Amino acid sequence: MNKKANIKRKAILVFALVALLLVLHGVMTSSPAMAEHVFNDAADAVKLSATTTEVSAGDAISDGLRSFWSFTGFRNCTRGNIIMILVAFVFIFLAIKYDFEPMLLIPIGVGSIIGNIPVFQDSATLSLNDALAVLSKIELQGNLKFDLTEAQKFFVGLFAGQDTLNYETAIAHFHEMREMDPQNLAAFLPAGVDPGAENTLKYFDSLIAQVFNKNIQTGIYQTGSVLNYLYFGVRQGIYPPLIFLGIGAMTDFSSLISQPRLMILGAAAQLGVFITFIGARALGFDPHEAAAIGIIGGADGPTAIFISTKMAPHLLGAIAIAAYSYMALVPVIQPPIMRLLTTDKERQIKMKEPRQVGKTEKVIFPIVGLLLTTFISPSALPLLGMLFFGNLLKESGVTKRLANTAANSLIDIVTILLGLTVGASTQADVFLTTDSLIIFCLGAASFVVATFGGVCCAKLMNLFCKEGNKINPLIGNAGVSAVPDAARVSEVEGLKYNPSNHLLMHAMAPNVSGVIGSAVAAGILMSFIGI
């Protein structure tokens, strides 16, 4: 009891301290008397300390304390920061308490906390030459296909002959230009881009913010920071292929090789990708954004990140978090849908044991698989090439050290870096938007559709299968790419209705084909729309 009382007292003390700090934050920022003494930027503090040497020691200490306060997280904290940190706590809680994808959710949760630590944001004042110099060092991203010349023309127009601009003035001038006539922006845009489109305006806002250094001053977006270097692997699509290398090195394709017909279930589950793509377009997302959102339906986090970096980098955080969140929730989302679509009789179908697969078949499969899939979808080569390469390392029998490294050390390191940096990209001002909410809703719908596609495809195939060779529709859910969680769901649900009916090895066939299918679907979308 004493131990519990001590814990309770400590918790009360912590909460009281936090409350006190929040109250101080409110007083410091809302009281007119105090507000006069709170600095809005670091420059003010430096100027004040340099203006005179005839100040008392007390005044110097007071000024120093106020300057210190202006840089603290309590001074700069926003409601969005608090919300995202609470969301990060939820991710970590789910990972630890319920074992929901802990290797992913814990790094993402910690990354989200890091990305939402409130920091002081300076408001730089730049000349046109300074702005152009900064612009030349910025990696121009997005779907507008800006080149440097067009971006420079835009900033020349933005300055409109003024010697200097700060962020606030620049953004106000931009919106003034837009409100007067969106066509004013046409001269600074690539051919065929609608100056009044929402994504066009978002792009300009982001570009101005980057040039005037109004993004967070520490973290993944700060050029030269450690997190920025680590985020390079996400931004350039390096981490997802390495994840696929590790997946290939740890995956046994025997179940798929022995039952190739089950590959159809993996293909059917990609229905979620294309239906979500159509839904995103109907809700106003442009083709590139819709394609990136649609991949959430494949339940494949690395593929979702890969295509997002190519098609819609500004939506990367929301898409990645949605993809990994729903992957973790596969045991929650899929069972009700599976039960709704199947009968008791169908759930008790016992499938024939898969045949034994020889070593030669296992070695040939990754080579043939690589050729077939990449000839269909060359854009997916970075993912599929690494997947089948990793599998060949495993099955060849002569590269065990390489296979073990890829399947253990390498994939663990990349998972840490990927989760941490993706989490750090979920900053409140970027993540807490209407688009993010819509993406999460579309992601949930895509999982439902993908599960529906796989289960219903199995039921359809049974119409053409002889008695004794039918497919248990419960394995249709495993057509999504969440390996091996989706296959485990099939196993658990099958055992509920027949304790002797083990479906895991059968479900692994559509499960691994779903990994291949989601990558192929991503490549098809990139080829169809154009990167």
* Bridge partners, 125 (sequence order): 166
Largest CA distance in the chain: 98
Q: How far apart are CA 327 and CA 489, in angstroms?
A: 12
Q: Closest by alpha carbon to 479, among 253, 280, 297, 242?
A: 297
Q: Do residues 349 and 319 make contact, with C-beta atoms less than 8 angstroms apart?
A: no
Phi then psi for residue 125, to 5 deg, are -110, 125
- Does residue 111 sit in helix, strand or coil? helix
The rounded distance, in Å, linking the Cα atoms of 341 and 452 is 8
Dihedral of the alpha carbons of 373, 378, 384, 388, in degrees to the nearest 10:
60
The torsion angle over the Cα atoms of residues 238, 244, 247 and 249, rounded to 10 degrees, is -90
Amino acid found at 157: G
Amino acid at 75: R
Q: Which tokens is 16 given?
A: 């009281």
C-alpha count within 13 angstroms, C-beta hemisphere, residue 220: 26
**Residues 442, 446, 449, 454: what is their CA dihedral angle, to the nearest 10 degrees?**
180
* Residue 455: count of CB within 10 angstroms of its CB: 28
Neighbours of 65 (CB within 10 A): 11
CA 480 to chain CA centroid, nearest Å:
18
pLDDT at residue 81 in the model: 86
> Helix or strand or coil: residue 38?
coil
Is the bond into 182 cis (omega within 30 degrees of 0)?
A: no
pLDDT for the residue 204: 76
Distance CA 60, CA 395 (A): 70
Length of the chain: 531
Cα separation values, 139 from 142, 146, 232, Å: 10, 10, 11
Query: SS3 string of 418-446?
Result: HHHHHHHCCCHHHHCCHHHHHHHHHHHHH
CA 513/CA 336 separation, integer angstroms: 23
Which parts of the chain sit beneath pLDDT 70? 1-56, 120-124, 137-147, 180-184, 187-193, 197-199, 213-219, 221-224, 531
> Quick one: pLDDT at residue 130?
80
pLDDT for res 100: 79
Q: Give the orientation angle of helix 79-98 with respect to helix 316-328, to 10 degrees.
A: 30
Distance CA 248, CA 482 (A): 14
Structure tokens of 289? 């954004």
**Residue among 501, 518, 451 nearest 478 (CA):** 451
Of 460, 452, 432, 222, give the one whose Cα is nearest residue 321. Answer: 432
* Nearest-angstrom CA–CA distance, 190 and 199: 14
Give the model's pLDDT for residue 47: 43
Element counts in the chain: helices (H) and strands (E): 29, 2
Gyration radius (Cα) of the chain, Å: 27
Domain spans, the chain = 2-115, 125-211, 231-529
Residue owning tokens 């929730």: 329
Nearest alpha carbon to residue 297 among 442, 477, 461: 442
What pLDDT, on the 0 to 100 scale, is given for residue 455? Answer: 95
Rounded Cα–Cα distance for residues 529 and 289 (Å): 11
For residue 518, give the nearest of 286, 268, 329 by alpha carbon.
Answer: 268
- Can you tell me the distance from the alpha carbon of 359 to that of 366, in angstroms, rounded to the nearest whole number? 12
- Regarding pTM above 0.85, the answer is no
- The three state secondary structure string of 340-375 is HHCCHHHHCCCCCCCCCCCHHHHHHHHHHHHHHHHH
